[in-house]
Amino acid sequence: MDERGRIPDLDALQRALRPCRRCVVAGIRVESMPVVSGGRDADAILVGQAPGIREAENLTPFSGPAGRRLREWLAPAGLGDEESFYGRLYIAAVVRCFPGKRPGGGSDIRPSPAMVRECVPWLRRELELVRAPLVLSVGTLALEELAPGVRLDDAVGAELTLADGRPLLALPHPSGASPWPHLPGNRDRLERALRMVAERLGP
């Protein structure tokens, strides 16, 4: 077992995660320090892909345009303002440091399998230490990690179950560059998924 699986509590995990440079040591390029957000009493754990360039600067997850869109989506669940979003959610990710931009400065690099292997033990231990009753995945990489083999089209709007028995609700990535919400049938899937989140977390 990776030694991170033996970290005794969330405070110890976050203390160890904040200065992590494992990728640098392994020769994998990262362009920020790790982004860490949330406490053990969160109402839900939200798992994203990786920080973007804005998050790399201020070390706050979902602080750019994609975060604003995500909060709009989650407003019916009472998570539309920053205080509720950051206060009620434990915000994790498959990869915790910004992987950088693609050549030419366009979209963000998708984290490589090597980077995911290096980083994901942090997430696995967080899922054990934060006992929130609901897990939300955002985007395909988070879904692949939490529910291997399940397609985003099949997951959004359905209720999945994690190996530990907790419900998992999947959302697409809220990036404006994502074509997914505009493809046939997906708007209905997304609206169904957001209603399900609101039923569990809403006022």
Instruction: Give residues in contact with ligand SF4 (CB under 6 A).
Output: 20-23, 30, 34, 95-97, 115, 118-119
Strands 44-48 and 159-161: unpaired
Nearer to ligand SF4, 31 or 153 (CB): 31
Tell me how far, at minimum, the Cβ of 131 lies from ligand SF4, in Å.
22
Tell me how far, at minimum, the Cβ of 98 lies from ligand SF4, in Å.
9
Q: At what angle do helices 10-17 and 113-129 cross, to 10 degrees?
A: 150
Residue with structure tokens 């920080």? 51
CA distance 128 to 116: 18
Nearer to ligand SF4, 126 or 143 (CB): 126
Q: Which residues partner with 160 through β-bridges? A: 168
Tell me how far, at minimum, the Cβ of 96 lies from ligand SF4, in Å.
4
CB atoms within 10 A of CB 184: 6
Nearer to ligand SF4, 118 or 126 (CB): 118
Tell me how far, at minimum, the Cβ of 187 lies from ligand SF4, in Å.
33
Nearer to ligand SF4, 21 or 131 (CB): 21
Alpha-carbon torsion angle 91, 75, 140, 25, nearest 10: -20
Alpha-carbon torsion angle 47, 45, 81, 106, nearest 10: -10
> 20, 144 in Cβ contact below 8 A?
no
Across the beta sheet with 135-138, the strand order is 89-93, 44-48, 135-138, 167-171, 159-161
Nearer to ligand SF4, 126 or 171 (CB): 126
Nearer to ligand SF4, 36 or 194 (CB): 36
Q: What is the three-class DSSP state of 202?
A: coil
Tell me how far, at minimum, the Cβ of 183 lies from ligand SF4, in Å.
30
Tell me how far, at minimum, the Cβ of 171 lies from ligand SF4, in Å.
22
